Chain A
Amino acid sequence: MKETGILLVLLSLCTGPVLPQTQENVGDVADGNKSVPVHLIRLYDEFDHLIRLDDSPVMPFSSKRTCRKCHDYEKIRHGWHFNVADSSVAPGRIGEPWIYVDRQAATQIPLSYRRWKGTYSPTAMGMTALTYLSQFGRHLPGGGVGEKDSVQELNNYLRWQVTGDLEINCQSCHNADPGQSQAEYGVQVLRQNFRWAATASSGFATVQGSAKEMPDNFDLYSAVPPEKSEFLPPTVAYNKSRFDAAGKVLFNVPRKMPSAQCSFCHSSKVIDPRLPERWETDEDVHIAAGMTCVDCHRNGLDHQITRGYEGEAKETGRPAVSSLTCEGCHMGSDDGIPADGRRGAPRPRHLGIPPVHFDRLACTACHSGPWPSANTMRVKTSRAHSLGIPKADKTDDALPQIMTPVFANESGGKYAPHNVFWPSFWAHRKQNRIEPLVTDLVRPLVAEIFAKDTTRVMGRWPVLSEADILYVLRRLRDQDSTSLPVYIGAGKLFNIGPDGKLESLSHEAATPYLWPVAHDVRPRAQSLGVRGCADCHATDAPFHFGSVVKASPYFVDTDSMSRMTNFQDKTAASAWLFSMSFLFRPGLKAIIIFSFVLIALVVLIYTMRGLAHIIRILAEEV
């Protein structure tokens, strides 16, 4: 018994004092002081070694290792921006997917690790976590797939050793230094310089070379490519003037991030022929009023950022979120403490608007996105079109072709403006399941068609005729006779029919992919309906009768447009009938007013006569 006690004492001395598991990091506990803490800190590399300028080779600093000295990285890494590959996380409201585009294979397909309806997992397109990051990591803040061992495939093990993990780049959002360059971060990610990307973007270091060009056996410490000496290995050089005598660097970390930090990944450019120049357009009315994105899109240490859509509070089990929606700030709620008017949000009066509008329309339907026109317009987004990355295609018709605004019913049934694009891809059909084909298989077949006919201009898309699609499908069938090759495009599924001809079918996989948009919010005076009911209820109002362009490589004139009502819970006929009734409404109003006055007069006259009669009777009785 005595020996056991001694053993336990020795064991406890070896393991050191046991800290309570709930201990919080110094940077995570707010003491109520509203000043901004100064982030003058030492840098650590991915192996938790202190960065010294005289190291050889000098290593890039690791946000993970550096920031976790004061912040709970483990908690943060489960936040919304980083938990994309976590299958236990509810996908939430449908959002913008990553769009894989292969122009030569006539492909644009929505991808997401989240299980949003209509998206495909990147693995379905043959993408590994490494290729996914190489393609889309330019607009990711790191973390998630970038550092999740379970998705880093064994056959890429050596490659991951070269690139390093793409850890969360805390500075993407939190470094307000003017030198912080997310574009540089994107370039480094495209070069597979994952472990160097955060350092390169910081504004006080320069990274050269490309891990992508290094062989799998590249040794980080030798920094010399063993075979391909014509390519520079990734190296980092710090701006020494930014380090103080103690080897610390000052980071500009404001409590509230400027909107520009968010804008890099969350910008969009509407190709509006009415407003061709940037100076002609306005920014979101909230930003113009001096607010920032994080005034509404808030989060705690867990980085579960508020997305701000109706129903989010219920879905996420966080009631406080409901006060950060449009309605929450502008209208408040009757429950608990009054929360309306947050950040000075004006309470809308909505004079003369029948309340049914608020049951049927999201706030964004009237207040957000571009003012609708007869035809939907193209929109380019940061993530879909690499906006902000040097050498990105700046032309207005760059792929993928996304259309906006489409007034469709959200899952809750309310109308809201959406972005839409039409998936186009080659696939195998197994039973009713659609399995996309890797574009490497198809690209040569499409190229064959163009090689045979040199007179054809490729343009943005390889415009495919029915014969072309049939040709590729036959070739795919020849390669694999066990499955049925199909092409999805222009809202249809094409396959080889029993008669050997091209057959066009409706299929769920061919339906357009839509996601709601909330910004930019227009000023009140530019809301739909400000000019009256006809803004939406005219017989040619874009809200119901706009045309949605079906952008697809398979381009047939008669099918190239879709009606707005195809995205709504009403038919074109019923919408038209309803709109027609507004032509007669002034007359109907006049009839009701006339009838009201007439009946009121009759009632008044006979009331007076009756009163007179009663007075007479009473007088006689008296």
Chain B
Amino acid sequence: MTIFRIISGTALLIFIGAVAFDLKRRRGSWNAAMEYLRGGIKSAARIRQERRLVKSGHTITVVRTIVYLIAVLSFLLLALTGFAPILFAGNHPTGILLLIHVTVAPVFALALAAASLLWAHSLRFDNEDWRVVRNGHRGLREESIRFALKAGFWLILLLSLPLMLTVILGLFPLFGTEGETFLIQLHGYSALFLMLVALFHLYLTITYAQQPSDQFVKE
């Protein structure tokens, strides 16, 4: 628990630091960076952008919006109830926090499953992404961001698999104490990586959402 606490705390601090410095680098000063971030959050960028960009019918737009909203909210709630007791008290979540965690988890799982169906095709990798992979960052800024968003999406889906599998296996009488402990550790590390990727994805979405491009998602 102590090691996991240190690793997750350090990872979060590094992430926050990296985001802060990235914003400062691009906006020039701390104040401007804060202002920019505030504006980005206020615009609820991704959802609005989705609404703007999706060319399909009204119903699917609403469904996508709802699914995205539920996924983000349940993710934040899970991250909070899962990591807060570990980071601040050094304990696994228990009591009411655990209750919230286990109640929200299926909602997140369902939302993520729905998201995989709704976005998998539009966020599939293509030849442009292949070029980014081959050429790196040089002269392909928009493509790189788009590639990063796609990679984030697929990483989230991938990491959700061990995250859910460790819970499923732990709920059946298959593993002893050592096995259960290992499953919980695996659950924790999967959750940590998923959280970092998801936060990175959110950051990219919020930061670049106001750009006048419509190339992040294609149909």
12 more CB-based (< 8 A) A-B contacts, given A353-B177, A356-B94: A350-B180, A352-B170, A355-B180, A356-B98, A592-B168, A595-B110, A596-B165, A598-B113, A599-B116, A599-B164, A602-B116, A602-B157
Distance (whole angstroms) from the CB of B209 to the closest CB of chain A: 25
Bound-complex Cα distance A473 to B157 (A): 73
Residue contacts A-B, CB under 8 angstroms, 29 given? A349-B176, A349-B177, A350-B176, A350-B180, A351-B175, A352-B173, A352-B180, A354-B180, A355-B180, A359-B91, A574-B95, A577-B99, A578-B95, A585-B171, A588-B105, A589-B168, A589-B171, A592-B106, A592-B167, A595-B106, A596-B109, A596-B168, A602-B116, A602-B117, A602-B120, A603-B154, A603-B157, A609-B124, A610-B124
- B96: CB under 8 A from chain A? yes
Contact A592 B130 (CB under 8 A): no
Q: Which residues of A contact B165 (CB under 8 A)?
A: 596
Asked, given contacts A349-B176, A603-B157, whether A578 binds B99 with beta carbons under 8 Å apart, the answer is yes
- A-B pairs, top 4 by smallest CB distance, nearest first, are A352-B173, A595-B109, A591-B106, A595-B113
- B140: CB under 8 A from chain A? no
B92 in complex: contacting residue of A356, A591, A594, CB < 8 Å:
A356
Bound-complex Cα distance A356 to B82 (A): 14
Instruction: List A residues 323-367 near B (Cβ within 8 Å).
Output: 348-356, 358-360
Contact A593 B95 (CB under 8 A): no
A598 in complex: contacting residue of B92, B117, B130, CB < 8 Å:
B117
- A617: CB under 8 A from chain B? yes
Bound-complex Cα distance A603 to B113 (A): 11
Contact A595 B112 (CB under 8 A): yes
- A316: CB under 8 A from chain B? no
- B215: CB under 8 A from chain A? no
Residue count of chain B within 8 Å CB distance of chain A: 42
Bound-complex Cα distance A344 to B109 (A): 45
Distance (whole angstroms) from the CB of A392 to the closest CB of chain B: 44
- B14: CB under 8 A from chain A? no
Q: Which residues of B contact A578 (CB under 8 A)?
A: 95-96, 98-99
- The 0/1 profile, CB within 8 Å of B marked 1, for residues 587-622 of chain A is 111011111101110110110011001000100000
- The 0/1 profile, CB within 8 Å of A marked 1, for residues 125-163 of chain B is 101001000000000000000000000001001101100
Asked, given contacts A577-B96, A588-B105, A602-B117, whether A596 binds B157 with beta carbons under 8 Å apart, the answer is no
Q: Which residue of B lies closest to A589 (CB)?
A: B171
Contact A592 B109 (CB under 8 A): yes
A596 in complex: contacting residue of B125, B164, B181, CB < 8 Å:
B164
Contact B116 A598 (CB under 8 A): yes
Asked, given contacts A581-B103, A592-B167, A603-B161, whether A350 binds B109 with beta carbons under 8 Å apart, the answer is no
**Residue from B94, B116, B160, B181 having most chain A Cβ neighbours under 10 A:** B116
**Residue from B103, B113, B116 having most chain A Cβ neighbours under 10 A:** B113
Bound-complex Cα distance A214 to B171 (A): 71
- B174: CB under 8 A from chain A? yes
- A242: CB under 8 A from chain B? no
Q: Which residues of A contact B113 (CB under 8 A)?
A: 594-595, 598-599
Distance (whole angstroms) from the CB of A612 to the closest CB of chain B: 12
- A570: CB under 8 A from chain B? yes
Q: Which residues of A contact B99 (CB under 8 A)?
A: 574, 577-578, 581
Q: Which residues of B contact A353 (CB under 8 A)?
A: 177, 180
Q: Which residues of A contact B161 (CB under 8 A)?
A: 596, 599-600, 603
Asked, given contacts A353-B177, A596-B168, A602-B116, whether A588 binds B95 with beta carbons under 8 Å apart, the answer is no
Contact B124 A599 (CB under 8 A): no
A352 in complex: contacting residue of B92, B130, B171, CB < 8 Å:
B171
